[in-house]
Amino acid sequence: MGRENMLIESIRFSIKKAIQYRANLVSWFLADLSLYTATFLGYYLLTQRIDIFGDYNRQEILFYITCFFLVNNLYAIFFAEAVSKFGQSVLTGYFDFDLLKPQPLIKYIVLKNLNFPAALSTPLLIFLNIWCMKICGIKLTIAYIISIFSASILMGLLFFIVYSFTLFGLRSEAISAIVLQLLTMAEKPDTVFPKIVRNLLIYAIPIFLFSAIPARIALGKSNVYESIWCYSSPLLYYLVLKVILYQGLKKYQSTGGEI
pLDDT in tens, 98-119: 787 777 888 888 888 888 888 8
- Do 36 and 121 touch, CB atoms closer than 8 A? yes
Which helix (DSSP H) or strand (DSSP E) does residue 232 occupy? helix 224-254
Round to whole Å and give the CA distance between 210 and 71.
6
Reported as a single tens digit per residue, the pLDDT across 31-82 is 888 999 999 999 999 999 998 998 999 999 999 999 999 999 999 999 998 9
Average model confidence (pLDDT) across the chain: 87
Is-contact 117 25, C-beta < 8 A?
yes
Position 96 pLDDT exceeds 90: no
* pLDDT range class, residue 159, cuts 50, 70, 90: very high
pLDDT of the residue at 21: 65
pLDDT at 18: 62
pLDDT-derived band at 176, boundaries 50, 70, 90: confident
pLDDT confidence of residue 143: 96
- Residues of the chain with pLDDT > 90, as a percent, come to 57
Give the model's pLDDT for residue 142: 97
The answer on pLDDT for 5 being more than 70 is no
Q: What pairs with residue 52 in β-bridges? A: 57
Is 136's pLDDT higher than 50? yes
Q: For residue 111, what are the contacts with CB-CB under 8 A and spacing of at least 6?
A: 6, 7, 10
Question: What does the pLDDT look like over 233-257, one tens digit per residue?
Answer: 999 999 999 999 999 888 776 444 4
Concatenated DSSP letters for 146-206? Answer: HHHHHHHHHHHHHHHHHHHGGGGT--THHHHHHHHHHHGGGGS-GGGS-HHHHHIIIIIS-
**Span 19-42, mean pLDDT?**
83
Q: Where are the domains of the chain?
A: 2-254
Structure confidence at residue 7 (pLDDT): 60
Phi, psi for residue 72 in degrees, rounded to 5: -65, -40
**pLDDT value of position 98:** 78
